[in-house]
Structure 1
Amino acid sequence: MTDYVVPVTGWAAVDAEARLKAPIHAQRHVRILCVGAGASGLLMAYKLQRHFSNYSFQIYEKNQEVSGTWFENRYPGCACDVPAHTYTWSFEPKKDWSAVYAGSKEIYTYFNDFATKYGLRKFVKTRHEVAGAYWNHEKGGYDVHVKDLQSGQTITDHCAILINASGILNNWAWPAIPGLDKYKGTLLHTANWDDNVDLSGRHVGLIGNGSSGIQVLPQIQPITKKVTTFIREPTWVSPVQGLEQHVYSQEEHRDFETKPDVLTEYRKGIERGMNSQFGIFLKGSNINSETEAHFRQQMREKLQNPYLEERLIPDWHVGCRRLTPGIGYLESLGKPNVEVVYGEINEITERGCLCDNGKEYPVDVLICATGFNTSFKPRFPVVGPSGKNLQDVWANVAESYMGLAAADFPNYLIFLGPNCPIGNGPVLCAIECQADYMCKVIDRFQTHNIAQFAPKAEAISDFIAFKDRFMQNTVWQDPCRSWYKGAGPDGPVTALWPGSTLHYMEAMMELRLEDWDIKYAGNRFAWLGNGYSQTELDETADWAFYIREQDDDEPIARARRLRVLNKSGTVQPGSTMALLSGDAALSDGAKAPAIEMKL
């Protein structure tokens, strides 16, 4: 770790002097600001409230309610494409999910109730949009400009640490098709849905066959006069085997409510199933080949149309794009009132869509299920000490440290940044481990005389090199068009972690301070303070706590600590690892997919 000493001026001098008069690891007050009150922002509020003292925390949220994307997205059929019981915090189950794949209203209720249960709204200012963050050279930290969307006024707040929890799938975008502004019918976007528009008996155009389009079609098909759906490329559509849609019965709900062990084991079963799927994303693995054969069979059975089978079933591997269960979608394509137009839309006209087949398709309502701007660059300027704006630095390709920080932008942390496990498996547990990592960083900042922390550029460079080499063995590298690759079908994978979600969780368990540039306020050992321990300040503590009758310490070695944490030996071996191909023996006798790594 390269350590630097900042000039002892201003607040730094006061902080360093105060530490010399205080006991070791004295907690200084720390001001933290967070952008966004979606799932990640609410979790950070919960974690800080649970684990910290002597801090102040403020979340700025542009919407009028919390819950982020689940407040914003309310189009017909909007749902999560992973099983609902895995879409909860590990410590906060929901007993009354209606079905395996729950709708957006239920998910919104979950996060809204989470905020209420733990009193998190006191940290949130809604209808406040962050407009920019600028490093303050005198104070350190960031001056954050925030627009009050009700009054129109802009205020400035200051923080020692800035957390960006604005997410990925919330900055919706119109499709880049010429003439969109010429259309004279009703224009809708799935992420900006107008509940006042009645689609009954109307001819509706639907652009897109990503997750949103796949969810919308089965919902609107029964009520419309006709749906013309415009599809420009194939995609894999099918629930993974064993994770099909299922509506929970009253008996199941009763068991979930009254028998906690039943619910816990059910949740663990789904989570284990999700975690066992990583082999799907590895080229040449049995599970990938078997899943592709299963998907292909399912799609053919549901389409029952050679023309659509030829065009909609991909020739690239399963998993190159985000998998979607697509409940009822393929069946809807074959309904009498649904017309599939395959190809590019050259232009939007006053009446509808002019396609590359030379035909114009007039529609009464045009729905753009065209997703979001999934660039990882921040939605607002983030200007570091060098004067560089992170928006410019990440304009082409975003490169982060482990998905949560950027070089040369100190005291700035990111939820779900570049190359985090957003599509590798269960995502909320990954957000939890990011929050825990941030808390460890904040704890060290608060109890040491640290002025600035940022990942080293060379650490990020090495991480990106490792990531790029790893991705060559995955289906994500296939030439499909996916938001996993910000620079196009043949560009680097910028959205995903080079490993499984469990792999990410283990990688993030401890701070690797050798990867960080740390700048101190004054002498780096000022945190040692006045010679007294924290224990000696607490008259209720046992000042001889280390005297014992036996050694009951937790394991020191990482491998043994992990076996205690993951409850090694408590689960019957067999099913999950057997799904993976090319097994290679590890040093402890375990099995894992063999991947040749040459760095």
Structure 2
Amino acid sequence: MADFILPQNTSPTRQASRRLDGPIHAERHVNIVCVGAGASGLLLAYKLQRHFKNYSLTVFEKNPAVSGTWYENKYPGCACDVPSHNYTWSFEPKLDWSGVYASSREIYKYFDDFARKYRLFDYVKTSHQVTGAYWDDATQGYDITVNDLTTGQEIRTHCDILINAGGVLNNWRWPAIPGLDKYKGTLLHTANWDDSVNLEGKHVGLIGNGSSGIQVLPKIQPIVKQVTTFIREPTWVSPVQGLEQHVYSDEEKRDFATKAGQLTEYRKGIERGLNGQFGIFLKNSKPNNDTHDYMIEQMKEKLQDSFLEDKLIPKWHVGCRRLTPGVGYLESLGKENVSVIYGEINEVTEKGCLCDDGKEYPVDVLICATGFDTTFKPRFPLIGPDKRNLQDVWKDEARSYLGLAAPGFPNYLIFLGPNCPIGNGPVLSAIEAQADHMLKLIDRYQTHNIASFTPRQEAVDDFISHKDDFMTRSVWADPCRSWYKNRPDGPITALWPGSTLHYIEAMNELRMEDWEVKYSGNRFAWLGNGYSQTELDDTADWAYYIREVDDDEPATRGGKRRKLTKSGTVRATAGVNFTGRSSEEAEKPLRSNI
């Protein structure tokens, strides 16, 4: 077999002219830089390695290890709120999860093992933080500056395509409360946990009742002397009936490993249920109304306190904020050593928190479970051809193309960008769909004489208009305070206008009409010297299209979808939620979360 692969380190114009010496679709070298070695960055490395030739990839990771948020978050009780067997890549199951909801340390090990199994550390530079990316018109690529956090040295490099896999929940922040620097006790943040701090016998203050606060309280309550938890707004705390926290027995793990198809069917049952719950997020739908009534009943049953019921049960729709399984949280609020202070913290004093009730609450340790900067702005200056910085462009509202790219910033792609399905259903499935879509773009770039590609402004404007219209019918538009939007009455910038399955189908096809493409030289230079790739492969069948029957793939989108999804082979999918219930139970309230 004779390969003709365009050489690397040549200018776009030179590479375009070289195409005339080779066959159609000759694969030129493409140099890719990826920011972040969390789940998304590792998946990109895996897929490029599996599918591409004649490329180079460097993944810069600011932490000393891979796995992103699952390396960073180590606070007591930190876990994923998606069942562990479905918090894996579709093609890479883990046989020995300890329980239904895995700890952050166990999830970290899954992604670290994934990187080691497929030799992805060959591409990763840990303790390297990208500090800037600057478009170069001459090379049609980005000049990148990187800080080597081990030596303090600044490194400069260049890439044809820049991919941001930094994620959303990776830039933790202290709460914007005056006086935080005056506090003389031990100050902790859940995303920057100090394992050396001993909480036993201490009076602990806990700020926040988001996902991390809900996970922390039940873990620390039994060991501390007193907990004062500061809550400023209500939240729906999801019961998990049907899929409670469960520790897998050795027999269950053995069956997963040895009985053909058992683990796959178990995973499929959960995934079907996760994908069957999108109706919860639509206002006044039967699933939303039923779930609302059920969750009120469950929260009251666990709280058993009229004051807490009044303050903690929201008036807005279920799902406006991300639902979090509250394993033991509501029950902890009623323990003798737990005090709930509802309202705003006006300031932090040397001793503790001064609240809007006029009282000061002294504590020995103050834990801030106050989340992250979720504005979607890149964590480094990203300068485009017109010298604009994407950090400034997205300061007030992040407007992306399908959660993947930003208009005006060529050859720049984003994992989990604005308005992708980060809270609509199974998130790793969505990341896989994004990766596959990026591969299609990279393949087109590599096999054509494309200099740059960027989403058209009018395409982004139309997408945002469609998204905003859709969101008026969703529960996310309710006036709750959520990281899904910058302010309670603001546009929803985090979520996709549809389900995760909806997003996967939207990602299946590359819509080049939505992209502004610039070429090096004649746009048809990719036709090359007149030879096909097949003729240069003496191991290939040069008459591959001669056959006895028509076995072509379906020509229509609908036909392809029906074949891919094995339409007609599964019964009662519409009635299954993620507890695996049958269609006969479909009219009952949905009792689990995504």
TM-score (norm 1): 0.94
Residue 86 (structure 1) shift: 1.3
| Residue of structure 2 equivalent to 1:12 | 12
* Counterpart residue identity of residue 547, structure 1: I
Q: Please list, as runs of the form range in 1=range in 2, the aligned pairs for 1:106-145 lying within 5 A after superposition.
A: 106-145=106-145
- Cα shift readout 1:298-345 (whole Å, capped 9, x = no counterpart): 111111111101100101100000000011100110110000000000
| Residue of structure 2 equivalent to 1:545 | 544
**Mean Cα deviation higher: 144-153 or 238-247:** 238-247
| Residue of structure 2 equivalent to 1:467 | 467
Provide the rounded CA distance (Å) in 2 between the counterparts of 1:574 and 1:137.
Answer: 51
Residue 153 (structure 1) shift: 1.0
Provide the rounded CA distance (Å) in 2 between the counterparts of 1:219 and 1:271.
Answer: 28
Q: Please list, as runs of the form range in 1=range in 2, the aligned pairs for 1:532-571 lying within 5 A after superposition.
A: 532-571=531-570
Provide the rounded CA distance (Å) in 2 between the counterparts of 1:327 and 1:453.
Answer: 47
Provide the rounded CA distance (Å) in 2 between the counterparts of 1:235 and 1:477.
Answer: 15
- Check conservation: 2:70, 2:104, Cα contact below 8 A: yes
1:400 aligns with 2:404: no
Q: Please list, as runs of the form range in 1=range in 2, the aligned pairs for 1:162-561 lying within 5 A after superposition.
A: 162-486=162-486, 488-561=487-560
| Residue of structure 1 equivalent to 2:52 | 52
Residue 245 (structure 1) shift: 2.2
- Check conservation: 2:272, 2:577, Cα contact below 8 A: no
Question: Aligned to 2:236, what secondary structure does the other structure show?
Answer: coil
TM-score (norm 2): 0.95
- Cα shift readout 1:217-261 (whole Å, capped 9, x = no counterpart): 000000000000000000000235533322222221121111141
- Check conservation: 1:179, 1:348, Cα contact below 8 A: yes
Question: Aligned to 2:155, what secondary structure does the other structure show?
Answer: strand
Residue 182 (structure 1) shift: 0.3
* Counterpart residue identity of residue 571, structure 2: Q
Provide the rounded CA distance (Å) in 2 between the counterparts of 1:109 and 1:328.
Answer: 26
1:82 aligns with 2:85: no
| Residue of structure 2 equivalent to 1:99 | 99
Change in 2 beyond 3 A, CA 1:551/1:158: same
Provide the rounded CA distance (Å) in 2 between the counterparts of 1:99 and 1:325.
Answer: 14
Question: Aligned to 1:229, what secondary structure does the other structure show?
Answer: strand
* Counterpart residue identity of residue 289, structure 2: S
Structure 2: tracts of 5 or more residues without a match: 1-9, 579-594
* Counterpart residue identity of residue 286, structure 1: K
Provide the rounded CA distance (Å) in 1 between the counterparts of 2:371 and 2:469.
Answer: 29
| Residue of structure 1 equivalent to 2:586 | none
Question: Aligned to 1:205, what secondary structure does the other structure show?
Answer: strand
- Cα shift readout 1:108-158 (whole Å, capped 9, x = no counterpart): 010010001111001000010000000012111000000001111111110
Question: Aligned to 2:261, what secondary structure does the other structure show?
Answer: helix
Provide the rounded CA distance (Å) in 2 between the counterparts of 1:303 and 1:170.
Answer: 32
- Check conservation: 2:277, 2:577, Cα contact below 8 A: no
Residue 207 (structure 1) shift: 0.2
Question: Aligned to 2:267, what secondary structure does the other structure show?
Answer: helix
Question: Aligned to 1:33, what secondary structure does the other structure show?
Answer: strand
- Check conservation: 2:399, 2:406, Cα contact below 8 A: yes
Question: Aligned to 2:287, what secondary structure does the other structure show?
Answer: helix
Provide the rounded CA distance (Å) in 2 between the counterparts of 1:513 and 1:163.
Answer: 19
Change in 2 beyond 3 A, CA 1:498/1:75: same
Provide the rounded CA distance (Å) in 2 between the counterparts of 1:392 and 1:574.
Answer: 45
- Check conservation: 1:238, 1:295, Cα contact below 8 A: yes
- Check conservation: 1:240, 1:291, Cα contact below 8 A: no
- Check conservation: 1:413, 1:438, Cα contact below 8 A: yes
Provide the rounded CA distance (Å) in 1 between the counterparts of 2:516 and 2:552.
Answer: 32
- Cα shift readout 1:135-194 (whole Å, capped 9, x = no counterpart): 012111000000001111111110000000000001000000000000000000000000
Question: Aligned to 1:130, what secondary structure does the other structure show?
Answer: strand
* Counterpart residue identity of residue 473, structure 1: R
* Counterpart residue identity of residue 222, structure 1: P
Provide the rounded CA distance (Å) in 1 between the counterparts of 2:251 and 2:289.
Answer: 37
1:40 aligns with 2:40: yes
Provide the rounded CA distance (Å) in 2 between the counterparts of 1:36 and 1:326.
Answer: 30
Question: Aligned to 2:324, what secondary structure does the other structure show?
Answer: coil
Provide the rounded CA distance (Å) in 2 between the counterparts of 1:98 and 1:293.
Answer: 33
Residue 575 (structure 1) shift: 4.4
Structure 1: tracts of 5 or more residues without a match: 1-9, 580-599
| Residue of structure 2 equivalent to 1:595 | none
| Residue of structure 2 equivalent to 1:573 | 572
- Check conservation: 1:25, 1:448, Cα contact below 8 A: yes
- Cα shift readout 1:481-536 (whole Å, capped 9, x = no counterpart): 000012x0000000000000000000000100000000000000000000000000
Provide the rounded CA distance (Å) in 2 between the counterparts of 1:34 and 1:467.
Answer: 28
- Cα shift readout 1:436-479 (whole Å, capped 9, x = no counterpart): 00000000000000000000000000000000000010000000
Runs of 4+ that moved beyond 4 A: none
Question: Aligned to 1:50, what secondary structure does the other structure show?
Answer: helix
- Cα shift readout 1:25-44 (whole Å, capped 9, x = no counterpart): 00000000000000000000
**Mean Cα deviation higher: 105-114 or 240-249:** 240-249
**Mean Cα deviation higher: 358-367 or 257-266:** 257-266
Provide the rounded CA distance (Å) in 2 between the counterparts of 1:166 and 1:139.
Answer: 25
**Mean Cα deviation higher: 231-240 or 510-519:** 231-240
Question: Aligned to 2:270, what secondary structure does the other structure show?
Answer: helix
Aligned residues: 569
Question: Aligned to 1:279, what secondary structure does the other structure show?
Answer: helix
Question: Aligned to 2:325, what secondary structure does the other structure show?
Answer: coil
- Check conservation: 1:404, 1:434, Cα contact below 8 A: yes
Residue 98 (structure 1) shift: 1.4
Provide the rounded CA distance (Å) in 1 between the counterparts of 2:239 and 2:410.
Answer: 42
Provide the rounded CA distance (Å) in 1 between the counterparts of 2:291 and 2:466.
Answer: 27
* Counterpart residue identity of residue 329, structure 1: Y
Question: Aligned to 1:542, what secondary structure does the other structure show?
Answer: coil
- Check conservation: 2:282, 2:288, Cα contact below 8 A: yes
| Residue of structure 2 equivalent to 1:583 | none
Question: Aligned to 1:331, what secondary structure does the other structure show?
Answer: helix
* Counterpart residue identity of residue 171, structure 1: N
Residue 101 (structure 1) shift: 1.0
* Counterpart residue identity of residue 80, structure 1: C
- Cα shift readout 1:64-111 (whole Å, capped 9, x = no counterpart): 000000000000000001111111000000111111111101100100
Provide the rounded CA distance (Å) in 2 between the counterparts of 1:459 and 1:451.
Answer: 20
Question: Aligned to 1:13, what secondary structure does the other structure show?
Answer: helix
Provide the rounded CA distance (Å) in 2 between the counterparts of 1:223 and 1:12.
Answer: 63
- Check conservation: 2:449, 2:525, Cα contact below 8 A: yes
Q: CA RMSD in A?
A: 1.1
| Residue of structure 1 equivalent to 2:7 | none
Once the two structures are aligned, what percentage of the paired residues are identical? 72
